[in-house]
Amino acid sequence: MGDSGGSVVSVDVERNYFSCWEHHIQTNHGSVSVAVYGDHDKPALVTYPDVALNHMSCFQGLLFCPEAASLLLHNFCIYHISPPGHELGAAPISPKRPAPSVDDLADQVADVLDFFGLGSVMCLGATAGAYILTLFAAKYRERVLGLVLVSPLCRAPTWTEWLYSKVESNLLYYYGMCGLVKESLLQRFFSKEVRGCSESPESDIVQACRSLLDQRQSMNVWQFVQTMNGRYDLTEELKQLQCRTLIFVGENSQFHAEAVHMTAKLDRRYCALVEVQACGSLVTEEQPHAMLIPMEYFFMGYGLYKPSQLDCSPRSPLSPSCISPELLSPESMGVKLKPIKTRARLQV
């Protein structure tokens, strides 16, 4: 491991499929928690969650989906980065402490990579986390091999979103993680089909998320909301990205238009958009199985396969090769198989 200019505390935790080591790293932009799963000799997959979430509440559904887990855990060592103060058991951040900028958080990702001695990595981010990792890819192009983005943000907040976030921030600041804030966040994450109504109860995933939100430090969430409310437009930076990008978005996501805009601005040869029917923003939790086939074909372009199809060692460095258009055609990615509706724009 490298030295990021600070200290690190590591805690070993056992999980169902593999071991987890949690590191608290002092970077050049403040302290950050990183949970590391898997064999350090394998290629690195870096994740970043959405507002008010951490890896347990944002990516657990995907990693507990057996086929997706076998694909990811067999090929990668996973580095889950939590936004400041979003890890389990986090202490509250003082409201007097200035909120980091989005650039600070992107640079913090680079500091984490330096600490672990990582070169180029694969990235998986959800909404706000997708924005941070896209910004990281724009600033450190040589360090990102590919992006897998879930309901991503890429533009500055609209006036409506900015005002809505300001109201949410004030509620967090004065009333904590109150009922109104939780409902607002659950609407951000999930479709109304799983949030329930008078005729049907909330699904288990929504109930679990509601419970996890109760564990968040409200001032820490407030800081991340403040940070994301100050984000800027990445449209021009998107045109300069040099990595392949796979975008998932629920058709009922609040950020559907953002995902479509982002796809239109990326290099059409190396970008694919997968729209998941009857799903909200958090595809990783609401319909993780819908991500399997597109991810499987996406990773084939890097010589990575599920264990039953593995022809080479997953310990070898990722070597991107051109993805055949047939591999990422709508038919191959499941357009005829509900609940997936796919837009693919890949050319040789």
Q: Would you list the domain boundaries of the chain?
A: 20-301
Backbone phi and psi for residue 22, each to the nearest 5 degrees, phi listed first? -100, 125
Provide the angle, in degrees to the nearest 10, between the axes of the packed helices 102-116 and 218-229.
110
pLDDT in tens, 212-234: 999 999 999 999 999 999 999 99
Backbone phi and psi for residue 284, each to the nearest 5 degrees, phi listed first? -60, -25
Quick one: pLDDT at residue 69? 87
pLDDT in tens, 270-283: 999 999 999 999 99
Please tell me whether residue 73 adopts helix, strand or coil conformation.
helix
Q: How far apart are CA 82 and CA 48, in angstroms?
A: 6
Please tell me whether residue 310 adopts helix, strand or coil conformation.
coil
Backbone phi and psi for residue 199, each to the nearest 5 degrees, phi listed first? -90, -25
Q: Are strands 30-37 and 77-81 parallel, antiparallel or unpaired?
A: antiparallel
Residues 6+ apart with CB under 8 A from 32: 24, 25, 81, 82, 84, 108, 111, 112
Quick one: pLDDT at residue 104? 98
Give all strands (DSSP E) within the chain, no chain letters: 8-14, 19-27, 30-37, 44-48, 77-81, 121-126, 144-150, 244-250, 271-276, 340-345
pLDDT at 339 over 70: no
Q: Which of 270, 262, 259 has the alpha carbon at shortest distance from 325?
A: 270
pLDDT at 184 over 90: yes
pLDDT at 344 over 90: no
State the Cα torsion 86-59-36-244 to the nearest 10°.
-110
Residue 100 DSSP one-character state = P
Taking domain 20-301, whether its CATH number is 3.40.50.1820 is answered by: yes
Read out DSSP for 312-340? S-TTSPP---PPPTTTTSTTTTTTTSTTE
State the Cα torsion 149-315-290-210 to the nearest 10°.
-70
State the pTM of this model. Answer: 0.86
Token pair 């008010």 is found at 52
User: Residue 14: pLDDT band by 50, 70, 90 thresholds?
Assistant: very low
pLDDT in tens, 92-112: 999 899 999 999 999 999 999
- Mean of the per-residue pLDDT values for the chain? 86
When mean pLDDT is compared over 107-111, 313-317, 323-327, 328-332, the highest value belongs to 107-111
State the Cα torsion 288-290-294-295 to the nearest 10°.
10
User: Residue 72: pLDDT band by 50, 70, 90 thresholds?
Assistant: very high
Q: What residues are paired with 78 via a beta bridge?
A: 37, 45
> How far from each other are the two terminal CA atoms of the chain, in whole angstroms?
38
